[in-house]
Structure 1
Amino acid sequence: MATSFNEQFDQLGTWRREFALRLKLLAEWMKDHDLLDAGVEERLRRLETQVRSDKVMVAFVAEFSRGKSEMINAVFFAGYGRRIMPASAGRTTMCPTEMGYDADVPPCLRLLPIETRLQPQALMEWRMAPEKWVRFDLDVNNPQHLAKSLEKVAETIKVTQDEARSLGFWHNQSPQDNPMVDAHGMVEVPRWRHALINIAHPLLKQGLVILDTPGLNAIGAEPELTVSLIPQAHAVVFILGADTGVTKSDLSIWREHLITESSEADTRLVVLNKIDTMWDALSTPQQIDSEIERQKASTAQILEIAQDHVIAVSAQKGLVAKVTKDDELLQQSCLLQLEDALGNGIMGRRQKILSQAMADGIKALRQETGRVINIRKRDLNEQTLELKGLQGKNATVIKNMRARIADEQSEFDVGGAKIHAVRSVHLKLLREVFLLLGSSVLKREMAELTIVLTQKGLKIGAKKAYGDTFEKLRANLKTVQSIVAEIQSMLNASFRQLNAEYGLSLQAPSEPQVSGVIAELDMIERNHLQYLGVGNAFKLAQVEFSDRLVRALSTRVRSVHESALAEVELWSKTAAAQLDAQMRERRRNFTRRIEAIDRIQQASGGLEDRIVEIDQQVHTLSQLDVKLTELTSYLIAAHDSARQLAPSA
């Protein structure tokens, strides 16, 4: 039984594959016609990588026993005809679990031992060390074997209270949140710190990543979840019990880990699960619906969100309905409303962003390539006028014409030395940008914060150190923006001069904007500030936790800097490639003009033949221009078809 979310994701996956194929064909066509300079090739490569590998992460967040794993089964894995993620009564998902697809890795479950929390490395660093994970191969064609294997994410071990404290599961200042102590004084904790599931599920193959997170204690003990993974999710589904509504621990998760900017409210869905517990035989359907609506209104009011962002469902009944193909029960479960919100709402917005980026990239690419074609046509037309001016002239005139072209060529070559000098200044300024965004400067700016957070005892100056660190990072980014603006000004001036002196048509690409990077830094800072309140003072006092926190922060900020660096590199490469392409075309033009004069001097009738030949070349270029418009228009039109596949909620 197809669902709205699955159908939509499948359609968008088809669109992405076709778009990537068309990009590849466009690149091959451009290469065949000598239109693929370094800047255009880099832009095409990035567009193809982006459309092929764009990931959409949906994070499911809830306290224990809210039916989170059952909801994942119902929405994504009902096609297996049984439960895949463990969803029995009690605690099931004991460690954060990511499900995705990597074609280079065989189907498997990888588990990171909980003991790695005693070591300072951040989760991202552990990802780079696959040999430290325990791996189990998965038989994706055997649902029973698959489900049995995935039960490992629920495994636990018994440890002493001191060990539990070191691992982050025991806090003397909040005894009500500590796990039960058995008769032998031992405490049950998760066996694994993090789980990665790699399977070729149709949705996962198309770029979906599912993040299943355990309860409040586990979330709070793993700072990388709250400062990196969850904030970067494109959708967060926060699950509550329909019968209990918003409990104290639910409210803690919401306020401490899920509240972000109001502009991101649309990416947060609140789900009241288990409405089937309210299906009371003693109540009429109208009374049941009225009670559910009251619970939705109360939830929206407590969490301070719009009521249409609260959806009431029964994941368990929805899963049963899909497996048994019971349409009536599926409607009663209201699961399709959740899928519609995920598919048409959040997925739709994500797809619009991706398709708009593709359309903008193709338009810029067409403009750059069209400029090269127009330069070639203009040079050929100038040649035609030049040659027609020689009709009926004697050998001396033709000889003088050749000498004049040779002088122009020499003058142009001298201009090339000027261009090299301007480039040297650009590269010097670019090196400053690369230095400011590099790892050594980041390490230096993080040094004070690292010292404050990793010292023993209460971190009195932590909040000030955080503020100072982020101010320095923002100041560096503002300096980057200033340098980039200076380079852009120099590019504009030098391009105008070259256009005037040599008849080029250079146009500096739009400079990269750092404001978006600064906004991302602001968000990272807000996500981290939650740990600096009085409530987390004792947790921060643990050196191991503080060390993990600062490493998670460094990893996150480094990725932001690397993204900014990539944008600056593309901008620089695009400008340089455009200049190289037009200089190369001009040199070719000088060579062709001299060759044409030589042919005319050596053979009678060569002049007319050359004029006809140039006319044919101009016609071929006009055909290339038409074909370029045709190929790129198809890709730009694909943006509109993607928007139709992804209507707003």
Structure 2
Amino acid sequence: MSQLVQHFGEYSAWRDGVAAALSCYREAVADANLSDPASDARIVRTLERLAEDRLTVAFVAEFSRGKSELINAIFFADYGQRMLPSSVGRTTMCPTELLWDEALAPSIRLLPIETRTGTGSLAELRAQNDAWTTLPLDIDSTEDMLAAFGRVSETRRVPIAEAKAYELYDEEDPDCGLAAGADGSVEIPRWRHAIVNFPHPLLKQGLVIIDTPGLNAIGTEPELTLNLIPKAHAVLYILAADTGVTRSDIDIWRNHIGAGPGRMVVLNKIDSMWDELRGEAEIERQIARQVDAAAQTLELAPEQIFPVSAQKGLVAKVGRDEALLAKSRLPALEAALSVELIPARREMMRSQLHADAAELFASRQSLLSARLRSVVEQSMELKSLRGKNRNIVEHMMRRIDLEKTDFDASVQKLQGTRTVLSRLAAELFMHLGMDALKKTTFETREAMNSSMFTSGMRDAVRQFFAEVRGRIMLSAQKISEISEMMGVMYRRFSTEHGFALSVPKAFTLQRCLDELAAIEEVYQKQFGAAALLTMPQLTLMRKFFDSIASRVKGALEATNRDAQAWLKAVMAPLETQIREHREQLKQRRASIERIHLAADDLEVKVGTLETMQAELEAHRTALAQAEAGLKAALAADASKQALPA
């Protein structure tokens, strides 16, 4: 078992452990009657996030670098043969995602290349089932699976004019990768995108593999440039030792990948340097020179480049040849990938879950403490009535009535706060809303379509980003006003009525701003240069904007959902304690009123309250144990975060 498979299994087990501990905590909260819609919705969202968690690894390379063979060697060697087509020349003709969705049957979904002439982005086409050709996948038949996987690499020959319509041919671009035949036709991919739904053990645990074509596809398919590659948790960029670092290799690295967390360079096909007439030392020096040359060209440290032979590694795994496997250096790459990818993902998930859990713990404990404090106060009040006359009882009833009057006045003031909150929330969602974005998107498209010059189109896109960023900043101002207003209200109820409330956690739009900045950075890399763009590139720019608008829409929709959840959560603790306090005041007055100095009734009531106190203490212990269990699950495997490569 490779370290990658082992670590991924550990990460999957960690996720399952956290989900189980969170479910136990949810049960403890329900048993203690501490659930409310806001807290339960937060737990459900967290459980869904754990269940839907994905780790995406993208393999990027020009053709003939052995990319598909590397995927076969790392993930599919257990099948005893190649699953992805891998041969001399170009085999990956369209971007291919390998994943597992248990809601769907094993299948391969293929998006026809003709959809490139439409206006919808690939992200929007994902939800249109009728736009795809679906092939069933018989996982019990290796031959059937091989035939189905082979469909992904299908091509067809079309006239140059049709290839231009799909933006796959540009006679002015020497790197377009297509050459016209004698009949004036060119070979193009039959499919634009492929999604393989396959119950591989790692895919079932949440791994997503992306196999990409070369520079031509990366440069012309906005979905790759904007979404799949930038959002991948790890990107393996494959070079070939037999070709060295070519110009197109450099272009892909500089314009679409670049150094950063989770970005790794693989120097494949080192077996081309194996020579029986050379000694092992000479072969090692030659590989080292290739690594140094690639590192210098890509401006990386040599340690960041991993020389391997994917083909020999696959052969060694299938044939269980440990010596050949070690010589292929594939285990070193797998170990480095596992250390680079999995601990970073676990820490990110751990950090998010810690923050959510801390808020849940604080709110539930606060509510439980308020109930316990009320029971203790009631018990003390009743015990103080032992031997007292009716006048004392009536005095205590009047004191409770006065306390209720003051409390009702505070709640009445809160109604005004709710009105202001509703107005601010409406203004917040007006700025973040889809109607405003739809209007800005339409105006930008109109400006781009009416301009035939590079500067005019760039100005339109620049204005689009500026307007979206401006609305996000206006939304941030409204969020700040809401946070300040709710902070004042929380402190007032804590001071005047003894509520155990902490100021709500501030909501930030920084993630949305970062997402917008990342989208703009990708756009600038491709179209922001000062040089004039050709007509085909201007056409591509218009299509690219469709994907930009789609991704911005997705970011704002996610932010809207988060903002709505925050607005519910920001009021929930206060409203819950208000209901609790009102009920407690009612119970206190009723208890004192019923007693009328009757010792037997008094003692029965005191006994009842003592029983309630014991039950609440038991719930507190159970809740603390559930909290400890969740904390332990989150902290599990901390010692395995930095296994050596």
TM-score range, shorter chain: over 0.9
Q: Where does residue 629 of structure 2 map in the other structure?
A: 634
Asked if 1:484 corresponds to 2:474, the answer is no
Q: Where does residue 330 of structure 1 map in the other structure?
A: 325
TM alignment of 1:209-608, pairs within 5 A: 209-259=208-258, 265-455=260-450, 457-532=452-527, 533=529, 537-538=533-534, 542-543=538-539, 545-601=540-596, 604-608=599-603
1:531·1:540 contact (CA, 8 Å) conserved in 2? no
Distance 2:141 2:105 in 1: 15
Q: Secondary structure at the match of 2:156?
A: strand
2:110·2:191 contact (CA, 8 Å) conserved in 1? yes
Q: Where does residue 96 of structure 1 map in the other structure?
A: 95
- Counterpart of 2:58, as a letter, is A
User: 1:542: Cα distance to partner?
Assistant: 5.0
With 293-302 and 114-123 compared, the bigger mean Cα shift is at: 293-302
Distance 1:163 1:46 in 2: 46
1:12·1:645 contact (CA, 8 Å) conserved in 2? no
Distance 1:344 1:27 in 2: 33
Give the TM-score normalised by the residue count of structure 1: 0.95
1:355·1:643 contact (CA, 8 Å) conserved in 2? no
User: 1:372: Cα distance to partner?
Assistant: 0.6
TM alignment of 1:38-117, pairs within 5 A: 38-117=37-116
Q: Secondary structure at the match of 2:235?
A: strand
User: 1:113: Cα distance to partner?
Assistant: 0.3
Q: Secondary structure at the match of 2:261?
A: helix
Q: Where does residue 133 of structure 1 map in the other structure?
A: 132
Distance 2:45 2:524 in 1: 34
With 592-601 and 189-198 compared, the bigger mean Cα shift is at: 592-601
Change (3 A) 1:181 1:162: same
Distance 2:33 2:20 in 1: 20
Change (3 A) 1:293 1:220: same
> How many residues are aligned here?
643
User: 1:456: Cα distance to partner?
Assistant: 6.1
Alignment gaps of 5+ in structure 2? none
User: 1:302: Cα distance to partner?
Assistant: 0.8
Cα-to-partner distance string for 1:93-113 (whole Å, 9 max, x where unaligned):
100001111111110000000
- Counterpart of 2:499, as a letter, is L
Give the TM-score normalised by the residue count of structure 2: 0.96
User: 1:74: Cα distance to partner?
Assistant: 0.9
Change (3 A) 1:410 1:321: same
Distance 1:429 1:157 in 2: 56
Cα-to-partner distance string for 1:551-597 (whole Å, 9 max, x where unaligned):
10011111221232233223221121101210111022123213322
Cα-to-partner distance string for 1:234-285 (whole Å, 9 max, x where unaligned):
11110000222211111111122113xx6xx122100001111111111111
The percentage of aligned residue pairs carrying the same residue is 36
With 409-418 and 499-508 compared, the bigger mean Cα shift is at: 409-418
User: 1:130: Cα distance to partner?
Assistant: 0.9
Distance 2:642 2:427 in 1: 44
With 115-124 and 173-182 compared, the bigger mean Cα shift is at: 173-182
Q: Where does residue 122 of structure 1 map in the other structure?
A: 121
Distance 1:233 1:536 in 2: 31
User: 1:433: Cα distance to partner?
Assistant: 1.3
Q: Secondary structure at the match of 2:84?
A: coil
- Counterpart of 2:421, as a letter, is H
Q: Secondary structure at the match of 1:240?
A: strand
- Counterpart of 1:590, as a letter, is L
1:240·1:272 contact (CA, 8 Å) conserved in 2? yes
Distance 2:58 2:379 in 1: 64
Q: Secondary structure at the match of 1:65?
A: coil
- Counterpart of 1:89, as a letter, is V
1:351·1:642 contact (CA, 8 Å) conserved in 2? no
Distance 2:444 2:267 in 1: 40
- Counterpart of 2:605, as a letter, is R
Q: Where does residue 202 of structure 1 map in the other structure?
A: 201
Distance 1:578 1:636 in 2: 22
Cα-to-partner distance string for 1:65-118 (whole Å, 9 max, x where unaligned):
111111111111112111111112221110000111111111000000000001
Cα-to-partner distance string for 1:170-223 (whole Å, 9 max, x where unaligned):
102114534122232211100000000111111111111111100111111111
Distance 1:231 1:539 in 2: 27
1:377·1:618 contact (CA, 8 Å) conserved in 2? yes
1:241·1:274 contact (CA, 8 Å) conserved in 2? yes
Cα-to-partner distance string for 1:19-65 (whole Å, 9 max, x where unaligned):
21222222122112211122211221121111111111111100001
User: 1:539: Cα distance to partner?
Assistant: 5.3
With 404-413 and 509-518 compared, the bigger mean Cα shift is at: 404-413
Alignment gaps of 5+ in structure 1? none
2:152·2:194 contact (CA, 8 Å) conserved in 1? yes
Distance 1:406 1:170 in 2: 83
Distance 2:369 2:618 in 1: 12
- Counterpart of 2:533, as a letter, is A
Distance 1:157 1:641 in 2: 52
Change (3 A) 1:642 1:44: farther
User: 1:311: Cα distance to partner?
Assistant: 0.5
Distance 2:559 2:643 in 1: 29
1:161·1:185 contact (CA, 8 Å) conserved in 2? yes
